[in-house]
Amino acid sequence: MIAPSQFSRQTSAARRNDCYVGRFAPSPTGPLHFGSLAAAVGSYLEARAQGGQWLLRMEDVDAPRTVAGAAEEILRQLEAFGFEWDGAVVTQSERLDSYRAALEKLRAAGLVFPCACSRKEMADSGLARDGSRRYPGTCRSGLPPGREARAWRFHAPAGEFIWHDAVQGEQAEDVARDVGDFVLLRADGQFAYQLAVVVDDAAQGVTHVVRGADLLDSTGRQIALLQALGEPVPHYAHLPVATNAQGEKLSKQTLAKTLVPAESVSCLWHALHFLGQEPPAALQVETLAEIWQWAHENWAIARVPRQRARAILDIQPRHSRESGNPLGGADIT
């Protein structure tokens, strides 16, 4: 159990702008690595630059992927790296009733339907933008005779969703055409990420979502759900995703190195550099407080590279490559 009183922080009322609410929402599938840090830094600094709140949420709605103790470890890492968040930490596994209520609201409005299709039956379907299988609409008009519901899907509306991304620029997606009717309640009884994240953002009053560009292709679906639920749509900014030398997103599977407090200054400097902020080299030998002070005084989201992915080796100064790398997987030296 997370103890909010141990980890939460409060921003002084004098510098708070209640019109801006941002958040950082890691999944507790393991400790944070450099890619996670870059996303947290961008989200945090943009919220503070706007005088807003920065909330913290543990997205553990996917119970089979959640690792015991990972949420507590993430909070310790964030605290050791100098992050200060507002209010109590929200945990998705404690909010299942809210997701049920949202699904029922959509069901009552005729915006969801039961689906009997298995993954095997969809293996020949085309791919959506994010690599998932595009739903062909098999059960949209009703379950086939003799079949039982395995999941519940959202009835994706036709037409394009268009939005402006503060980093990636103008975006457009026809969810019905590009993704199809997507799952909200899975066959294993787990609520889907797409439903949980929009319900939580609405409940927490999130106005600005700053996150990694690996989630850019989820944005159309989330806008569709927010509109269907009658909730306001936040502003979005998708930061470049950190990749290794092979172009793979940093993750536990690609041997991304766990963040450790002893390397906090170096990692934070590299995260600022990765996000295009051009911190002075001299900051690498300063204190954590001093590098945060520089970051708060100089942050500009307009300087973030307009890329969906960026390799760590492309942004490392030569001396870092030669003296050891605190950032990524074992293949990066």
What confidence tens digit (pLDDT) does each residue in 238-258 have?
Answer: 999 999 877 778 776 665 788
What pLDDT was estimated at residue 145?
Answer: 77
**Given this model, what pLDDT does residue 14 score?**
35
251 Cβ neighbours under 8 A, 6+ residues apart: 33, 35
CA distance 195 to 184: 6
- What is the structure's pLDDT at 226? 98
**C-beta contacts of 64-68 below 8 A and 24+ residues apart:** 64/188, 64/190, 65/27, 65/29, 66/27, 66/28, 66/29, 66/93, 67/28, 67/29, 67/30
Give the angle 180-186-189 at the CA atoms, nearest 5°.
165
Residue 316: the pLDDT is 46
DSSP secondary structure letters along 136-150: --TTTT-PPTT----
Contact 195, 225 (CB under 8 A): yes
H helices of 204-242, where?
Answer: 219-228
The pLDDT assigned to 306 comes to 96
Orientation of helix 193-203 relative to helix 96-108, angle to 10°: 100
- pLDDT value for 67: 94
65 is written with which tokens?
A: 């992927």
- pLDDT tens-digit map of 143-181: 877 777 889 999 999 999 999 999 999 999 999 999 999
3-state secondary structure 265-325: HHHHHHHHHHCCCCCCHHHHHCCHHHHHHHHHHHCCHHHCCCCCEEEHHHHCCHHHHHHCC
Question: What pLDDT does residue 332 have?
Answer: 27
CATH number of 96-205+214-237: 3.40.50.620
The pLDDT value recorded for residue 268 is 96
Could you please state the CATH topology (level 3) that the domain comprising 4-94+240-323 is classified under: Rossmann fold (3.40.50)
Cα separation, 262 vs 87, in Å, equals 27
Query: Matching CATH topology for 4-94+240-323 and 96-205+214-237?
Result: yes
Tokens of 232: 């306001």
pLDDT at position 17, please?
A: 59
Residues of the chain with pLDDT under 70: 1-18, 121-124, 252-255, 313-333
**Domain residue ranges of the chain, discontinuous segments joined by +:** 4-94+240-323, 96-205+214-237
Task: Find out whether 39 and 24 touch, Cβ atoms under 8 Å.
Answer: yes
Q: Tell me the three state secondary structure of residue 191.
A: strand
**What predicted TM-score, i.e. pTM, was given to this entire model?**
0.87
